[in-house]
Structure 1
Amino acid sequence: MSENLNDEKNKKNKSCVNPIESCLLSLPPKQFTLLSTIFGLILLDDLSINQKNALGNFIVSVGQTMLTAAAQEQSLQSDSENDQICEDIDDLKKQITLLKKELNSRK
């Protein structure tokens, strides 16, 4: 019984520790987009044009950096998967060659 309570406390603690992952990134696309729009509108208040430009460019730069890193990770993962597929194809070709030899030897 106490283990179940500890598990639930740990789940609650995890969601409190990383609210970006547990709350923000789990939102459906429309709500996620709406939230970003609301944040953008809230940040407009009390900023000069220069501050808005600077902050906007900063946020875009952060996003671009994240997208670049994610694209590279995806590319490397894809290359690794492609290498494995090529190895599997080579193995299948070898098996086919062996089967052909075996069939020819039985004729």
Structure 2
Amino acid sequence: MAAQHALTEEATKTSVVLPLLQALGFDPFNLSEVTPEFIADVGIKKGEKIDFALKIDGKIQVLVEIKPISQSLGSSQYSQLYRYFGVTETRLAMLTNGRDI
């Protein structure tokens, strides 16, 4: 994948993350396995959504947060993902910009 083609978060989802989820054995088109835009409200902040929640045996086990390839991954992105752990039972997550995971 050429970086110049995945400039948006949606492009990164389509060209990098969905194929990766399939390679890991998940069916990204099966909502009982992969929930897009999973609501993970944090405190008084409502409408917080994680890009994907992956289910194993019907329970959410993995959170996936995606950023555009043009965005570096740093402490603010890691902090955002960490906040979601407080409102879900999962302890495994993936943060990616399509280049770094």
- Please, what TM-score do these two structures have when normalized by structure 2? 0.24
More helix by share: 1
- Please, what TM-score do these two structures have when normalized by structure 1? 0.23
Structure having the higher Rg: 1
Which structure has more RCO (C-alpha within 8 Å, separation ≥ 6)? 2
